[in-house]
Structure 1
Amino acid sequence: MPTGPLARVLDSMENAAAAASRPAPRLVAVGKTRSAGEIAALAADWFALRPDATLAFGENYVQEAAGKIAALDGSGIEWHLIGHLQSNKAAQTAALFDWVQSVDRPKLVAALAAARDPGRPPLNVLIQVNVEGEAGKHGCAPGDVPALAAAIAAQPRLSLRGLMAIPEPHPDLDRRREAFAAMRALHASLRDGHPRADTLSMGMSEDYALAIAEGATMVRIGTALFGARPEA
């Protein structure tokens, strides 16, 4: 059995969930700049540890992901777009990915729905929220979530699955906790009207335990699995 970074991260996630009396969240491995070979090696470790579970893998850029998805066709990986989505990449995104975690404006909703192949399952969608109102940061305002959720839910080729956020990495962990708690409350409100929106994606390598304590059902981890990204 693998005993490397993946096993350690999975154990740490389960321990954080147990300490908070919460279910363990799903892991989305993040592979920005990582090669198809590196991803394949991680997938081999994953399926050795979790042979009956799907490996979710997150990519930031559509063009970078396209080659990896083609190279790893048939590998059993579930592909998530976690980076900012430009409108002109919506059609390609709808064709390549299983999940899009970064929908933050109505224009994307219509474009993704129009491009999703009716022969495939609906595209799983998370609304990205700029929970702290950071200037220049992607994500909709918390107050815009209800209207955007309604627009997604009205599209049969899309499946509204919940919310995603990338809170500011405050050195003060209490401030991070406040942002995660605000997202938990926003997600609970969303589920009042959309009970199938079961996913709250938040937390990364340095703060995923805190996010889990505040109710994350999905965490996005790269550095803790692969090490620091190579310098450009």
Structure 2
Amino acid sequence: MPDLVHNFHAVLERIALAAQLAGRDPRSVALLAVSKTFPAEDVRAAHAAGQRMFGENYVQESLTKIEALADLRASLEWHFIGPLQSNKTRPVAENFDWVHSVDRLKIAQRLAEQRPAHLPPLNVCLQVNVSGEASKAGVTPAEAAEAAHAIAALPQLRLRGLMSIPEPAETIEAQRAPHRQLRELFERLRADGLELDTLSIGMSGDLEAAVLEGATIVRVGTAIFGARDYSH
């Protein structure tokens, strides 16, 4: 899959250039390849090219993919990044390494209860609705501190940081604004005693803005795998 491999390396180059502009070590920004809707074979090809972190949005699709790639499990890191309903938390707690889309305390509580004791704590990010869009999940910035402290106290979870999906914007300055807002919130929570190390921000269209504002994980799908087909 030469296009996929070429795209993968092109995205790594974009991250490296943005990090250089920001005066950051490119290694401080991790690439999460968003493989939702793409087959296990594409994940296998990206893995062969050196990618290890993969993001999924749909529970049943991801479980099928995880099973198909069981032979690579020791060197794959699975991240759930989509909306998570209460009745779908158990398979996510049992099969994933990370959940970025914890948008309310109830979801965190269920993940904590359902995380198998023999597995390491589940890494989670609190999703914050920085743009205030009615269609977007997440706590408001004003609610974030209370929610973050409550989640950090739960067993079998490790609160790593914050995640957001801001409104699309055309210019890099407009893209940077919501990422900056989340970074400032992240810094306030750290100053308040929370041991956070993760800012999950930026996607294919705005990863440069995210890296300039301190992203530690960028979630990139179409720039690696190509356009998605949702017809099925």
Q: 1:7 maps to which residue?
A: 9
2:37/2:230 contact within 8 Å kept: no
Who is 1:70 aligned against?
67
**Partners of 1:105 and 1:230 in 2: CA distance:** 30
Paired position in structure 1 for 2:227 = 228
Whole-Å Cα distance in 2 between the matches of residues 106 and 40 of structure 1? 34
Post-superposition offset of 1:6:
1.1
Give 5+ residue unaligned stretches, structure 2: none
Native 8 Å contact 1:79 1:97 kept in 2: yes
Whether 2:61 is the aligned partner of 1:61: answer no
Measure how far apart 1:74 and its partner are. Answer: 3.5
- d(CA) in 2 for partners of 1:111, 1:157: 11
Match of 1:161, SS state, is strand
- Post-superposition offset of 1:194: 4.2
Once the two structures are superposed, the pairs formed by residues 85-104 of structure 1 within 5 Å of their partners are 85-104=84-103
Deviates more, 1:188-197 or 1:201-210: 188-197
- The CA deviation at 1:23 is 2.9
Partner of 2:125: 126
Q: Which amino acid aligns with 1:81?
A: F
- Asked whether the equivalents of residues 59 and 81 of structure 1 are also in contact (C-alpha less than 8 Å), the reply is yes
Alpha-carbon shift at residue 177 of structure 1 (Å) = 1.3
Percent identity of equivalent pairs: 48
**2: CA distance, partners of 1:19 / 1:173:** 13
| Aligned-pair Cα RMSD in Å | 1.4
Q: TM-score, normalised by structure 2?
A: 0.92
Runs of 4+ residues over 4 Å off in structure 1: none
SS at match of 2:78: strand
Q: Which runs of 5+ in 1 are unaligned?
A: 48-54
Cα shift readout 1:23-57 (whole Å, capped 9, x = no counterpart): 3200000011100111101110116xxxxxxx110
User: Residue in 2 aligned with 1:83?
Assistant: 82
- Give a deviation string over 1:144-172, Cα, whole Å, max 9, x none: 11111111111120000000001100224
Specify the code of the residue in structure 2 equivalent to 1:157. Answer: Q
TM-score (norm 1): 0.92
- Count of equivalent residues: 224
Find out whether 1:157 has 2:166 as its counterpart.
no
Query: Where do 1:130-209 residues align within 5 Å?
Result: 130-209=129-208
Give distance in 1, aligned partners of 2:90 and 2:163.
21
